[in-house]
Amino acid sequence: MNASDNTAEYLRLYEQMARIRAFEDNANQLYLSAKMPGLTHMYTGQEAVAVGLCEALETTDHITSTHRGHGHCVAKGAHFKEMFCELLGKAEGYCRGKGGSMHIADQANGNLGANAIVGGSAGIATGAALSAKRLGTGAVTVCFFGDGALGQGLLYEVMNMAALWKLPVVYACENNHYGEYTRTEEMAAGDLCARAAAFGIETHQVDGQDVLAVNRLARDLVARARKGEGPFFVLLDTYRWHGHHVGDINRAYYRPKDEEALWKETRDPILNFGKWLEGEGIADADALVEIGERVRREAAEAVAYAEAAAYPPAHEVDMHVYATPGTADRGRKELDHA
């Protein structure tokens, strides 16, 4: 493939990764300045995984995401304003402030939601794939999960069914080498890919810091899944730059500082892809700087917007529990006889 023929696509890969980085830098800043309620998990460092996979999908395809979900959400086409509003618990957020960082869902773009239960979306992703097959929609589902989710039995139940029923689903395991404060080797016995292979699922390993490699593989697998050749399992080697969550600052006891430095300095997916673009003559340094500045401006504007936005009004608290309002007990925390 001639690199320069795909200039627009390449620049989009770059820009989408830069958008995630800009989003996360702002989210982290909101936490540090005590403007964000609760905690959040940064996706920084793993951008090539979400972008490489999601850029192989159509808007009508589905993803399921994780507690570390901002990157998946942005990569699947979400807008900054609604995302930052959600992070701050504002009414204009994707979930009207009800979900927050760990539960952002973006129905319009096929994001079925982040999930605060590790492995909790494996069934949902597989169900979405079953539904697509039954309804003949042609949609493919990508199920994002971390190496830690390999501990969850649910994953093996649903991979078995997906294989039996040849479902259009790609299980994307983001191996960032840690689940919380524990290294993957201490949590997962044996060969990780062999687990999926045992069900007869075709498995692949790819460098999760190389957006082109991820995207090429993803395009191939998604096209094949659409033709009924799924499911697939992909193990992506990657790294989270920050702590497990924004508050995880002193982490040398479980993760060496020089390891962090090595990944940041030599395996930054955005920097490395930028160098490649320059080397291939697809973009010059100025163009890349311009992209970075543009997405950072966009993020800053969205943050300012979200900070000024309104919280949901009190009466929304018992909305959305059921499709039929009035199904729940009308008594709030207050006495219903008072």
Ligand X SMILES: Cc1ncc(C[n+]2csc(CCOP(=O)(O)OP(=O)(O)O)c2C)c(N)n1
Identify whether the C-beta of residue 143 lies closer than 8 Å to the C-beta of residue 122: yes
Least Å from the CB of residue 112 to another protein: 15
Position 138 contacts another protein (CB under 8 A): no
Among positions 71, 100, 269, 274, the unique one binding another protein when judged by CB under 8 A: 100
Position 117 contacts ligand X (CB under 6 A): yes
Distance CA 1, CA 15 (A): 21
DSSP 13: H
User: Tokens 């490699």 — which residue?
Assistant: 213
Range in contact with another protein (rule: CB under 8 A) among 2-10, 235-243, 296-304, 327-335: 327-335
Position 70 contacts ligand X (CB under 6 A): no
Least Å from the CB of residue 96 to ligand X: 23
Query: In terms of Cα–Cα distance, which of 247, 243, 128 is closest to 176?
Result: 243
Between 149 and 234, CB nearer to another protein: 149
Residues in 66-95 at the binding interface with another protein, rule: CB under 8 A: 86, 89-90, 95
Find the helix packing angle between 285-308 and 80-87, rounded to 10°: 50
Range in contact with another protein (rule: CB under 8 A) among 26-34, 132-140, 194-202, 328-336: 328-336
Position 99 contacts another protein (CB under 8 A): yes
Distance CA 180, CA 19 (A): 25
Could you say which of Mg ion, another protein, ligand X, none residue 151 binds, taking C-beta under 5 to 8 angstroms by partner kind?
A: another protein
Least Å from the CB of residue 14 to another protein: 32
Could you say which of Mg ion, ligand X, another protein, none residue 312 binds, taking C-beta under 5 to 8 angstroms by partner kind?
A: another protein
Query: In terms of Cα–Cα distance, which of 269, 282, 198 is closest to 237?
Result: 269
CA 36: distance to chain centroid?
Answer: 20
Binding mask 146-175 for Mg ion (x = CB under 5 A): xxx---------------------------
Residues in 179-198 at the binding interface with Mg ion, rule: CB under 5 A: 179
224 Cβ contact list (under 8 Å, min separation 6): 230, 232
Position 38 contacts another protein (CB under 8 A): yes
Number of residues that bind another protein (CB under 8 A): 53
Query: In terms of Cα–Cα distance, which of 315, 172, 301, 192 is closest to 234?
Result: 172
- In 10 A of CB 313, how many CB atoms? 9
Both tokens of 43, joined, read: 């996706």
- In 10 A of CB 250, how many CB atoms? 8
Find the length of the chain: 338
Cis peptide before 256 (omega within 30 of 0): no
Position 178 contacts ligand X (CB under 6 A): yes
Taking 3-state DSSP, the helix, strand and coil percentages for the chain, each rounded to the nearest 5, stand at 50, 10, 40
Distance CA 144, CA 114 (A): 9
Among positions 149, 201, 235, 306, the unique one binding ligand X when judged by CB under 6 A: 149
Among positions 59, 181, 284, 285, the unique one binding another protein when judged by CB under 8 A: 181
Binding site for Mg ion (CB under 5 A): 146-148, 176, 179
Binding site for another protein (CB under 8 A): 37-39, 86, 89-90, 95-103, 115-120, 148-153, 179-182, 186-188, 253-254, 311-312, 314, 316-318, 321, 328-329, 331-338
Binding site for ligand X (CB under 6 A): 67-68, 116-118, 146-149, 176, 178-180, 244
